[in-house]
Structure 1
Amino acid sequence: MDSSTEANFPWTPEQLAVLPHDNAAPKLLSSIWALFAVATLFLTLRVYCRILKRRSLWWDDYILIAAWVCSLIECSLLTHMTTLGYGLHIWDFDWNNFQAIMVPTLASGTFSITAAVWSKTSFGITLLHITDGWYKKVTWFCIISMNVFMFLSALFPWVDCTPISSAWDMSVKGTCWDIKVTVYYDIFSSGYSALMDIVLAILPWKFLWGLQMKPKEKIGVIAAMSLGMFAGATAIVKTTQLPDMLSADFADGVPLWIWGNAETCASIVASSIPMLRVLVKEAASSRGYKSGGYFDRGTGVTGNHSRFVTISSRPAPTNSELELHKLGDDRSDRSILGNNPNLQVPQAKNGIVQVTDIVVKYDEENAQGK
């Protein structure tokens, strides 16, 4: 601790002897970059799956990528802050760096909040593609209200002082709001964001349960679409850390940064996993095929297999997206990725619908060598 720090925080040598002198920076950096790496892996697989199946991206993909970029900027700013001494206790912090750390701190908070709300918005937009009726209206309400409340949380630290520049420039004299106002509002907005995670995770349950699918497949899709619960759980934990913003010790804020980053990364992972189910299912299916035949894991019998195209004539649905989801089995997974060009719903009143099925032929006499 240098002399300038002693002038501002004049602890006696006896007091300093019993105070902790650990540095939380290594824990902060290892946590946020490890979480970011996991989120990057899942987002990369999601984009790969999108391009592989549709050869184009949707708005939800672009918004999720934007959230990832905001998270990257946040992690980079936090890393820069640790070079200025962030992570040290206030009694060990070099007060000469206080001015230099102010703007990166405010910017990190803004990017953290933006990354979190955009990652949740991406999942909401995904739901807009697979829901209809009141489900869609509720989804829109969740998206809009969440963005409004979180936007204010990102804005307040920049405008809570008069003149505004005094919020980050210590050389400018001004008056600021009571810090409790900002903290209490952040607790509200963060709690609301956690609630929206849970609502968006539960919202598609009834809709997905009505799909014509095998129960096991149906449960799998619902589970994949409900992983936002984990993001909601991290948001709740982050909310409990917000009162630490009232502490004068910098080091007390490290857990808040970690859980804020965890919230965003959990949202990115939760938004990506539903897209990856198709790859998992196809990988599992490909393992069932042997050269020249199909392996039935239930009976241990191999035999010839054929790929058939079923042609049927029926009235065209009023909602092509909804009909595509009701075709059944993993087509509901594929519809999350986008309309498969091989599964086009006709626009005419009556038309030919092509549905791809796998039909396994098994000749018992041939299998027994007769």
Structure 2
Amino acid sequence: MNFISRCIYSSQIFIFAVEQTTNIGKEMVSTLGKAVLAIAWVFNGVAALVVAARYYARIKILKRFTIDDALILLTLLLAVGNSVFLTISVHWGLGTHMAALSDIQIQNTVKWVFLCEFFSILSPGIGRIAYAFLLLGLVPPVQWRTRFLWSIIAIQFVVDIVTIIISFAQCRPLSTFWNHDVSGTCWSPSVQQDTGFFQGSVCSAVDLTLAVFPASMFWNLNMERKKKIFLSCLMGLGVFAMTASIIKTIELRAITAAADLTYAMAQLAIWWTLEANLVLIATSIPTLGPIIRRQHRHPSPVPDGSSRSSKGGGAQATRPWHALFYAKRSKTERGSSEDLWPGVPKAYALEESVSREQKRGIKKTTTIGVGYEDVDAAPLGTIY
């Protein structure tokens, strides 16, 4: 409860800090319109730059474009769509108190914010699914880990789709939601609010799960504790999106704020916009490792990737680094955690080596760059 209380308090301080005032007639009317626009487009710009860097790393350096990259592009487009619809909403009066708006302005504000729900729900949702697919391509083919990630993907997708269906099915005809002059019927606002609370809770739980999941694997690597902490934090940036998701869920009370809906919805819009863009940024930053590796690569006659050797013998020849990315992959072969950040062992290759050697009954110790790992002593599926 203390954490939730702090989130509410922080959100109130944040809203107060970004709140703008404009003159409408003779009355000073508080408005969040400018804040909504600033947050939407500034964070969109930052997210777009991070995604562009991601594509440079994935396509230009690694020569790879996978399903998570495609989903991130869709996530970015949905986030931009959210900003476009919010811009139209602000034009009509989003962030301004209802007392200062005409009936037409109120109707159009509510209409465009309502239509914006499609983007605000799907954008962060697909971003989370994209991150789960990224992890699927990195983890060893261990049954429980794979099934767990697929369960996360299924839960996120189903919950988001059901939420959208409920949102757009609550009024017949749909225009009844924003135009009370149209004869029709709508469900109680509490239905959408309760659905939103459930969806927001699931999203926050997924953010936390996906943030902790990589750390559970990094912690089993034989490397310095500082590096483990760094990598765990790098892959766990989704906690920032989780915080925005929690505050957004709390702000869903705006749905039933009939007395000042146009102002209350602006507060909610700020947090769902932050959530969507923070998901984009958090899921893309871990993929920028190849750029760092390229910047810090030292000239050497020995190709990168040839330093791996057996503990009991001399250097073991391996393919040059670029061959790892250009070569054809088998159906079961996956990406490498080294593709994300320099110095992270190739989880799948190590796992495959362990399985092969165990079948032969041979005990083998493998050097993985940062130290020595007794692969027979390590539980299968816990090496990342």
Quickly name the TM-score band, shorter chain normalised: 0.7 to 0.9
| Paired residue secondary structure (1:203) | helix
Flag the 1:86–1:17 CA change in 2: closer, same or farther, 3 A. Answer: closer
Distance 2:165 2:29 in 1: 33
Please point out which of 93, 112, 120 is paired with 1:112: 120
Deviations 1:162-198 (A, max 9, x none): 3445335544311211101111110111011001100
Partner of 2:302: 307
1:22 aligns with 2:30: yes
Flag the 1:281–1:79 CA change in 2: closer, same or farther, 3 A. Answer: same
Computing the radius of gyration from Cα coordinates, the structure with the larger value is: 1
Higher strand share: 1
1:191 aligns with 2:196: no
Deviations 1:238-293 (A, max 9, x none): 1111112211211122121111011111111111111113322442445xx7xxxx
Q: Is the Cα contact below 8 Å between 1:150 and 1:190 reproduced in 2? A: no
Distance 1:105 1:41 in 2: 26
Shift of 1:64: 1.0
Distance 1:197 1:261 in 2: 16
Q: Is the Cα contact below 8 Å between 1:64 and 1:119 reproduced in 2? A: yes
Deviations 1:78-118 (A, max 9, x none): 11111112221000012123443444222211111110101
| Paired residue secondary structure (1:81) | helix
1:143 aligns with 2:145: no
1:273 aligns with 2:285: yes
Shift of 1:221: 2.3
Partner of 2:272: 260
Shift of 1:205: 1.8
Amino acid at match of 2:182: V
Please point out which of 51, 56, 73 is paired with 2:59: 51
Amino acid at match of 1:235: S
In structure 2, list runs of 5 or more residues that go unmatched: 1-23, 307-314, 319-330, 358-366, 371-384
Q: Is the Cα contact below 8 Å between 1:201 and 1:226 reproduced in 2? A: yes
Greater alpha carbon shift after TM alignment, 24-33 vs 211-220: 211-220
Flag the 1:150–1:91 CA change in 2: closer, same or farther, 3 A. Answer: same
Flag the 1:40–1:218 CA change in 2: closer, same or farther, 3 A. Answer: same
Shift of 1:28: 1.1
| Paired residue secondary structure (2:316) | strand
> Could you tell me the TM-score, scaled by structure 1's length?
0.73
Distance 1:150 1:321 in 2: 28
Q: Is the Cα contact below 8 Å between 1:110 and 1:155 reproduced in 2? A: no
Deviations 1:324-352 (A, max 9, x none): 5599983538889xx9xxx9x99xx89xx
| Paired residue secondary structure (1:332) | coil
Flag the 1:251–1:169 CA change in 2: closer, same or farther, 3 A. Answer: closer
In structure 1, list runs of 5 or more residues that go unmatched: 1-15, 290-304, 359-370
Please point out which of 192, 196, 200 is paired with 2:210: 200
1:157 aligns with 2:167: yes
The percentage of aligned residue pairs carrying the same residue is: 22
| Paired residue secondary structure (2:247) | helix
Flag the 1:73–1:39 CA change in 2: closer, same or farther, 3 A. Answer: same
Q: Is the Cα contact below 8 Å between 2:29 and 2:97 reproduced in 1? A: yes
> Could you tell me the TM-score, scaled by structure 2's length?
0.71
Flag the 1:236–1:327 CA change in 2: closer, same or farther, 3 A. Answer: closer
Q: Is the Cα contact below 8 Å between 1:221 and 1:333 reproduced in 2? A: no
Flag the 1:334–1:50 CA change in 2: closer, same or farther, 3 A. Answer: farther
Distance 1:207 1:134 in 2: 13
Please point out which of 73, 82, 98 is paired with 1:74: 82
